[in-house]
Amino acid sequence: MLTHRFGATACLLFVSAAPLFAQTVKVDDVEFTLSGEVRVRSELDARTSDAGTDHATLLRTRLGALARPSEQVGVFIQLSDSRVFGEEANTLADATADRLDVHQAWLAWTPQPNLTLTVGRQELAFADERLVGPVDWTNVSRAFDGARLNLRAAGWTLAGFAMSLDEQAALLATGLNPRVNADSTASDRSLFGLWAATDHFDLFALGDMNATDGPDRSDIDRYTFGGRARTQLGNVALQATGAYQVGDQTQTGIPRQDLEAYMASAAANYLLTGSLRGQIGVQADVLSGDESPLDDTFGGFNTLYATNHKFYGFMDLFLDLPRQTGDLGLVDVMFRAMIRPDVWTVKADVHHFSLAEENLAGDKAIGVELDLTASRTLAGGLGIQAGYSLFSPSDAAKVSPIGLGEDTLHWA
What's the distance, Cα to Cα, between the start and end of the chain in Å? 32
The H-or-E segment that residue 395 falls in is helix 395-398
Q: Which of 325, 318, 334 is nearest to 400 (CA)?
A: 325
> Which residues neighbour 192 within 8 Å (Cβ) at sequence distance 6 or greater?
161, 162, 163, 206, 207, 209
Residue 127 DSSP class: T
Q: Tell me: pLDDT of 13 over 50.
A: no
What pTM was computed for the model?
A: 0.90
d(CA 59, CA 16): 10
pLDDT digits (tens, 9 = 90+) for 348-370: 999 999 999 999 999 999 999 99
Q: Are 365 and 395 in contact (CB under 8 A)?
A: yes
Q: How far is CA 191 from the centre of its chain?
A: 15
Q: Is the pLDDT of residue 214 over 50?
A: yes
Report DSSP letters for 167-181, one per residue: -SSPPPPTTS-GGGG
What residue ranges define each of the domains in the chain, with the CATH number in brackets?
A: 8-85+113-164+189-411 (2.40.160.100)
User: Which pLDDT score is estimated for 176?
Assistant: 57
Q: Which residue has the higher pLDDT, 294 or 331?
A: 331
Q: Phi and psi (nearest 5°) for 115?
A: -135, 125
DSSP of 182-226: GG--PPPEEEEEEEEE-SSEEEEEEEEEEE--STTEEEEEEEEEE
| Candidate from 180-184, 193-197, 293-297 with smallest mean pLDDT | 180-184
Question: Cα dist. 122→75, 141, 179, 285 in Å?
Answer: 11, 11, 30, 29
pLDDT digits (tens, 9 = 90+) for 135-179: 999 999 999 999 999 999 999 999 999 999 987 665 555 555 655
> Do 131 and 202 contact (CB within 8 A), yes or no?
no
pLDDT above 90 coverage of the chain, percent:
75
**Over residues 59-82, mean pLDDT:** 96
pLDDT in tens, 71-88: 999 999 999 999 999 988
pLDDT-derived band of residue 301, with 50, 70 and 90 as boundaries?
A: very high
Question: Would you call the peptide bond into 113 cis, given omega within 30 degrees of 0 as the criterion?
Answer: no
What span, in angstroms and rounded, lies between the C-alpha atoms of 342 and 28? 46
Quote the pLDDT of residue 2: 26
What per-residue confidence (pLDDT) applies to 212? 86
Phi, psi for 24 (deg, rounded to 5): -115, 125
Q: Is the predicted pLDDT of residue 221 greater than 50, yes or no?
A: yes
Average pLDDT on 10-16 reads: 40
User: Residue 11: pLDDT band by 50, 70, 90 thresholds?
Assistant: very low
Question: Residue 126: what pLDDT?
Answer: 98
**Mean pLDDT on 249-277:** 92
pLDDT digits (tens, 9 = 90+) for 361-395: 999 999 999 999 999 999 988 999 999 999 999 99
How confident is the model over 81-135, as pLDDT tens digits? 999 999 888 888 887 888 899 999 999 999 999 999 999 999 999 999 999 999 9
Q: In whole angstroms, how far apart are CA 358 and each of 134, 285, 364, 373? A: 32, 17, 5, 33
